[in-house]
Structure 1
Amino acid sequence: MNKSQNLTKDDIPTLIKQLTIPASTGMFFNTMYNVVDTFYAGVISTKAVAALSLSFMIFFMIIGLGYGFSSAITALIGNALGKKKNLLASIYAHKGILFIPIVGLLLMVVGFLCSKEIFIFLGAKEQYLQICLEYIYVLLGGIPFFMLNFSLNAILVATGDTKTYRNTLIFGFFANLVLNPLFIHGFLFIPAMGISGIALATVLIQVINMLILFRKVLKTNMVNFLKPEYFLPQKKIYKDFVVHGLPSSLNMVTMGVGSILLTYFVSTYGYKAVAGYGIGFRVEQIMLLPALGLSTAVLALVSNNFGAKKYDRVSQTIYKALKYGFIICTFGVIFLYVFGELIVSQFDNDAEVISYATGYLAVEVWTFYAFVTLFICVSTLQAIKKPKMIFWIGLYRQIVAKYMVGYTIVIYFALDFKYFWIGVMVMIYSAAIFAFLYTRNELKKLNIPDI
């Protein structure tokens, strides 16, 4: 555990800040990393921006499984550390390092087999389709490195270290600024690769980050090579990963499927709408970063304190995280209403694309409060080992309700673009309210003080 902090004894508000700020900062640079990709894709063409948007949906669905399992590994290690079962925590860490990359290799194969058909389903054809494939095929080759980084970061978060991953993401952002133009346009012996160069830069940066994270994990003494057999698959431990990680992972998959579904309905308005949505989505993500950082803090704090049976600290963590999240959301809403159009216009000068992006943001900023609630509730359920409902909430929010909204507003009534996002906002709030009430009830069953 990080020597400068004790997750089961130190002041909760202080710990939340210590964990959230590095996590949010790292996520900021990760999002800016994607913004840089979008900017350079815009230099190539509007179709290249749209291709990045489509590809992101597919890629997110694949690596989402890794992210979901990493949350489970963090929770399991955190619970073990809270109970002072350090050997069990170490075994979870060793096994987890290989588990997620194995899952990633299987998904990589699926991605290569299915990507083209998904792009065609989403309306890509001819040159647009070719651009999508050039980008996604290179990115898919890097999946094992993405997955290994999820494994390594899961161990660090469980011990209270959110700074190392932050540092790798900051490094990645600056490296991307250099590598993107280098690989896109070529230099000396490096050929011009166009949009596939953007993907290659991402993969190379993941490889470097993997080395940094592995070095830091070794310093925690949670993992070592004295007993190599600890790394080998073990049925009981892998079963724990599946039982506790599958609901979260499937939730991430539903997010990917939901994004594809969302993009399908958006694509009925044309590829410029897809480009506008892609730009607006990335801008929106910047504002949601503190909420994602809070969810990381909640996962680490609740898992450790739940394992230590310090239930009053569990309740306090959730309450404080919600309070801080809502305050941050208010600033985000104001900021995007004032500067949203100016920010969007930096990525594409097409008036129609800008109109679609700003129309998306004008509605979606009001969902921030719902997203904060969802993120914190999902992290809490994962941390207290009650993850089953996470999948069902995701299934409703990402697929069932989203399809109903899309079909009704876009297909049946053929309403304007903004009405689609209003329908999506209502759907997200309904999921957030249910998630809050369900989480509150689960906490009561465990005799944890009301939040």
Structure 2
Amino acid sequence: MDIAKKVKLENKMGIMPINKLIINMSLPLITSMFVQAFYNIVDSLFVARINEEALTAVSMSFPAQNLMISAGTGVGVGITALIARYLGAKDEKGVTRVVHNGIFLGILNSILFAIFGLFFAKFYFEFQKASGLIETYGIQYLSICSIFAFSIILEITFERMLIASGKTIYTMITQSTGAIINIIFDPIFIFGLLGFPKMGIIGAAVATIFGQTVAMLMALYFNIKKNHEVRFAIKKFAVHFKTIANIYEIGFPSIVMQSAASFMIFQLNNLLASFSTTATAVLGVYFKLQSFVVLPVFGLNNSVISIVSYNYGAGKIKRLLKAVKLANIYAFGIMFAGFVLCQTLPVPILKLFDASDNMLSIGIPALRIISFAFLIAPFSIVSSGTFQALGKGIFSLIVSLIRQLIVILPLSYLLAGIMGINGVWIAFPMAEIVAGILTIFYLKKLYQNEIMKRKIKRHK
């Protein structure tokens, strides 16, 4: 039987040549992530044209928005790994339980963020010492995004179901459509074009929610109509606490990772504000630019989690190892390109955001210094995905906390006191070096204690 016929009889993750499989599954995700990253930048460009206060307000909102994404992504990572593993083991009931309880968790998380948006947005900005226009803009923007958080959280949930079964082309369509809608309606709602009222910063939030809601509905439609390996038997829905525990056992590290990133940005905003509000805006611009490099790597990593989980469940260790190796090579290539751009073109990049002379003086060294982290980060990111796929979320959690909290924050404060603002930027690559060393240790441990045992067991 040739490969083409085998692929039709078995999920492609278990039979398609690995290099072709990674390209086949990750290219749609990488493409959609590029579009999403492009939206992140374009959105900030439009907001920057309101004024620098608006850009600073959106930058301060980023940690809270990142928490919403972390809630969706954490559950999504658990869903992806479990569905892929159950598909590899041919356990249809297990797949259905994960689908039902994943949706339940998505709805529950959405309610919690709506409460935050209604009652705690003002406190959030007061805690960051925001005042005047920055506080007003921030409350307006973040309240809307939080109250309608269901759009992004459930979008992620439904897209992860598509990824888990290898239907990444549909994820590309949903994410790209949502981002394109956002890009189109951003200037219309912000500046009052085509007969729409001029809404300013509120328009940016409305455009965001509109795009996310369309993407969510499309992802739901594709699951119902195209994803025959995932079934929505709503009448048979039941909360299954063991399944919820399994989802969080795998996905909790992702929640902590992104939450740690939110806390890190929150604290860095406070630290940088002691230098100037422009420094805070620079950090916000950096994270928008970083998304253009990191999000595609996450797209690649999402597909690799499914591939590794499936082949681990099916006992195909050789395919698993090859997938991890190729993923590291591709991830490094993507982030090296980002490193080159930040080193050679910092001025044109910053001027896209209407950077003042003060912003350029802070931003140019910031981009050049922080981008050295891009040379090490892909290894830790891909390895963290591998840990999650194999059910070793605690390894992923520790590495991510090293990268985004335990090392970077104390080091930022220490170096800022010694070297000034550039000390904050130097802390980024130094944290990646420490995380990379720890990742090597965990990979060796995982290979010896899990992968080799699985390999030996299969050959008995």
Q: TM-score, with normalisation over the residues of structure 2? A: 0.91
Q: Which moved more, 1:21-30 or 1:335-344?
A: 335-344
2:84·2:306 contact (CA, 8 Å) conserved in 1? Answer: yes
1:303-331 alpha-carbon deviations (Å, 9 max, x no partner): 11011111111111111111222233333
Q: State the structure with bigger RCO (CA 8 A, min sep 6), 1 or 2.
A: 1
Structure 1 residue 2, shift from structure 2 partner: 8.9
2:268 maps to what in 1?
Answer: 262
2:32·2:171 contact (CA, 8 Å) conserved in 1? Answer: yes
- Counterpart-to-counterpart distance in 1, 2:7 and 2:316: 19
Mapping of residues 17-416 of structure 1, within 5 Å: 17-186=23-192, 190-218=196-224, 219-224=226-231, 227-410=233-416, 412-413=417-418, 415-416=419-420
2:422 maps to what in 1?
Answer: 418
- Counterpart-to-counterpart distance in 2, 1:350 and 1:231: 56
Question: Cα gap change, 1:355/1:15 in structure 2, threshold over 3 Å: closer, same or farther?
Answer: farther
Structure 1 residue 423, shift from structure 2 partner: 2.1
- Counterpart-to-counterpart distance in 2, 1:429 and 1:386: 21
CA RMSD of aligned residues (A): 2.2
Question: Cα gap change, 1:350/1:58 in structure 2, threshold over 3 Å: closer, same or farther?
Answer: same
- The letter of the residue matching 2:47 is A
1:37-81 alpha-carbon deviations (Å, 9 max, x no partner): 101111100111111111011110232121111011100001101
1:12·1:317 contact (CA, 8 Å) conserved in 2? Answer: yes
- Counterpart-to-counterpart distance in 2, 1:143 and 1:335: 33
Structure 1 residue 382, shift from structure 2 partner: 0.9
1:432 maps to what in 2?
Answer: 436
- Counterpart-to-counterpart distance in 1, 2:73 and 2:100: 17
Say which SS state the counterpart of residue 385 (structure 1) adopts: coil
- Counterpart-to-counterpart distance in 1, 2:31 and 2:239: 34
Q: Which moved more, 1:399-408 or 1:313-322?
A: 399-408
2:182·2:210 contact (CA, 8 Å) conserved in 1? Answer: no
Structure 1 residue 169, shift from structure 2 partner: 2.4
Say which SS state the counterpart of residue 446 (structure 1) adopts: helix
2:96·2:231 contact (CA, 8 Å) conserved in 1? Answer: no
Question: Cα gap change, 1:349/1:250 in structure 2, threshold over 3 Å: closer, same or farther?
Answer: closer
1:253-277 alpha-carbon deviations (Å, 9 max, x no partner): 1111112112222222211111122
Out of 11, 18, 30, the residue aligned to residue 17 of structure 2 is 11
- The letter of the residue matching 1:404 is P
1:118-147 alpha-carbon deviations (Å, 9 max, x no partner): 322323112211111111011112211111
Structure 1 residue 443, shift from structure 2 partner: 2.5
- The letter of the residue matching 2:228 is N
Structure 1 residue 428, shift from structure 2 partner: 2.1
- Counterpart-to-counterpart distance in 2, 1:448 and 1:377: 17
Q: Which moved more, 1:135-144 or 1:329-338?
A: 329-338
2:167·2:227 contact (CA, 8 Å) conserved in 1? Answer: no
- The letter of the residue matching 1:26 is S
- The letter of the residue matching 1:152 is F
- Counterpart-to-counterpart distance in 1, 2:212 and 2:373: 31
Say which SS state the counterpart of residue 233 (structure 1) adopts: coil
- Counterpart-to-counterpart distance in 1, 2:399 and 2:16: 33
1:317-368 alpha-carbon deviations (Å, 9 max, x no partner): 1111112222333333223322232122111141211232222210122111
2:72·2:153 contact (CA, 8 Å) conserved in 1? Answer: yes
Say which SS state the counterpart of residue 75 (structure 1) adopts: helix
1:442 maps to what in 2?
Answer: 446
- Counterpart-to-counterpart distance in 2, 1:10 and 1:152: 25
2:155·2:215 contact (CA, 8 Å) conserved in 1? Answer: yes
- Counterpart-to-counterpart distance in 1, 2:117 and 2:395: 27
Structure 1 residue 6, shift from structure 2 partner: 0.8
- Counterpart-to-counterpart distance in 2, 1:15 and 1:355: 45
- Counterpart-to-counterpart distance in 1, 2:141 and 2:288: 18
1:182-219 alpha-carbon deviations (Å, 9 max, x no partner): 21233577432210110011111111111111111012
Question: Cα gap change, 1:19/1:404 in structure 2, threshold over 3 Å: closer, same or farther?
Answer: same
Question: Cα gap change, 1:13/1:138 in structure 2, threshold over 3 Å: closer, same or farther?
Answer: same
Structure 1 residue 449, shift from structure 2 partner: 9.3
- Counterpart-to-counterpart distance in 1, 2:360 and 2:166: 41
Structure 1 residue 292, shift from structure 2 partner: 1.7
2:63·2:266 contact (CA, 8 Å) conserved in 1? Answer: yes
- Counterpart-to-counterpart distance in 2, 1:149 and 1:278: 24
Question: Cα gap change, 1:231/1:191 in structure 2, threshold over 3 Å: closer, same or farther?
Answer: farther
Structure 1 residue 112, shift from structure 2 partner: 4.2
Aligned-residue sequence identity (percent) comes to 25
Question: Cα gap change, 1:340/1:168 in structure 2, threshold over 3 Å: closer, same or farther?
Answer: farther
1:237-257 alpha-carbon deviations (Å, 9 max, x no partner): 222222222222122211111
Say which SS state the counterpart of residue 15 (structure 2) adopts: coil
Q: Which moved more, 1:10-19 or 1:105-114?
A: 105-114
Structure 1 residue 384, shift from structure 2 partner: 0.5
- Counterpart-to-counterpart distance in 1, 2:177 and 2:395: 36
